[in-house]
Structure 1
Amino acid sequence: MLFHFSENPNINKFEPRKSNAFPELPSVVWSIDKNNAPLYYFPRECPRIGFWPKPDSKTVDLEVFQKSTIAEKVIAIESRWLQCIKETRLYVYHFSNELFTCFDESAGYYISTETIVPLQVEPVGDLIERLVEANIELRLTPSLLPLKISLISSTLHFSMIRMRNAQL
C-alpha cells in the first residue's frame, strides 16, 4: 500500500503533474511508502527535515544527531508552525502499488505517470499523536537552516521538505 496526504478530502482522482523539485521528470503522481509516511503528517507548506541512521552512518554523526533519542526518526520543524500543525485537518489517500515505480527507495518515494484513483481516503486525526504512534521524535527550532547545513555533510539519511518556506 502507498499513500498520499492532502488537506483536501475530496480528491476523486490524481492526475500526473510536473514537479518543481524534479523538473527533469515527466508529469507524475507522487506517493509515499508506509515507513516514510510520517514525513507527511504535516500541513503541506510546513518546512521540515527528517533524519535517521543508515547502516553505514558514522559513529560521529550518530553521536551528534541521534545520541539523545531512541526514536526511529527525528523530524524537525520551525516553532512557528506548531499551531498550524495542531489546527490542520489532514487526509490520507490509499493507493495500490501496482501502477507505481520506486523513485527513491531510502526516501520511500514512488511515482506513476498514470491517472490514479484512490482506493480510500480517511482523516489522519491528531497529527502530533500520529507522530508519537510512529515512534517519531518531533523537534522544534526557530530555524531549520543550521540543521540543513549540518545534515548535508553527514552520513545519515535525510529528507528536506518545503525548505523554500523555511526561516532565513
Structure 2
Amino acid sequence: MAFMRPEPGQVLHFSEDPAIERFVPHVAVTSTLTEPYVWAVDHDRCPDYWFPRACPRAMAWPGPRTTDDDVVRIVGAGCGQRVHAIEYCWLRALMEVRLYAYRLPADGFAPIGDPPHAVVSRDPVAPLGPPEPVGDLFELHEQAGIQLRVLDNLWPFWNEVTASSLEFSGIRLRNARR
C-alpha cells in the first residue's frame, strides 16, 4: 500500500467504482469550470484522495514560504510534514470504504490550477490495467508519514490553516458540519 502512487509516466484516478473501462471527459458537479475533463492526480497530490469520495477533508503541509512557527502550531512538533483532518461522523466511512486506484498514462494530461492541484485530459482515457484496491486508508496515511486528525468540526482547523503560511487543500468541504 505504501506504493499507492503513480509510477513514472502515470497519473492516478481514485474511485469507489471498480468497473470503469474508459474515462470520458465530463464537467464535474463540484467544478466551477465549464470545460469537460478527465481528472487525475500526480504523485504529490495522491494523498488528497485517500478518502471516501464525499468525505470532507482539510489538508495542510509546509511550502517554500511556510514559517517554522506555523509548522509547530498547526502540524505539530515532531509530527511529520503533512496533516489531514476529517470529522468524526466520517470515521466509519473512512474505515469501510472500498477505494480503487486506476493507473492512467500521463501523456495527454496537463496540470490545472494555480498552484496545480490535479491533472486533466480533454480526451477519453483508457486505464493501463484493472483498478487496484487501495486497502486500509489509515495504514496508507501511516506509511506515508501523514498525520490523520479526527475532529468534531473541520471549520476551526480550516480557518487556522487558511490564515497560516502553510500550503493547503480542502476537498468536499460543503459536506462538512456547519
TM-score (normalised: structure 2): 0.88
- Name the residue aligned to 2:108: 99
For the structure 1 residues 130 and 107, does the alpha-carbon distance in structure 2 shift closer, same or farther, using more than 3 Å as the test? farther
Question: Which amino acid is the alignment partner of residue 153 of structure 2?
Answer: S
- Name the residue aligned to 2:7: none
- Contact kept in structure 1, 2:37 and 2:120, CA below 8 Å: yes
**2:150 is the alignment partner of 1:160:** no
| 1:109 corresponds to which of 118, 128, 132 | 118
Report sequence identity in percent. Answer: 36
* Counterpart-to-counterpart distance in 1, 2:113 and 2:74: 23
Mapping 1:40-59, distance limit 5 Å: 40-59=49-68
Question: Which amino acid is the alignment partner of residue 55 of structure 1?
Answer: P
- Name the residue aligned to 2:138: 128
Question: Which amino acid is the alignment partner of residue 65 of structure 1?
Answer: I
Q: Which digits, 9 at most, give the CA deviation of each residue in 1:9-47, with x for residues without a partner?
A: 000011111134442341111111122211111100000
- Name the residue aligned to 2:153: 143
- Name the residue aligned to 2:5: none
Q: CA deviation at 1:71?
A: 1.8
Number of equivalences: 168
More off after superposition, 17-26 vs 134-143: 17-26
Consecutive unaligned residues of structure 2, counting only runs of 5 or more, are 1-9
- Contact kept in structure 1, 2:15 and 2:53, CA below 8 Å: yes
- Name the residue aligned to 1:16: 25
* Counterpart-to-counterpart distance in 1, 2:136 and 2:24: 28
- Contact kept in structure 2, 1:35 and 1:108, CA below 8 Å: no
More off after superposition, 13-22 vs 88-97: 13-22
Alignment RMSD: 1.6
Consecutive unaligned residues of structure 1, counting only runs of 5 or more, are none
Instruction: Spell out structure 1 runs of 4+ moving beyond 6 A.
Output: none
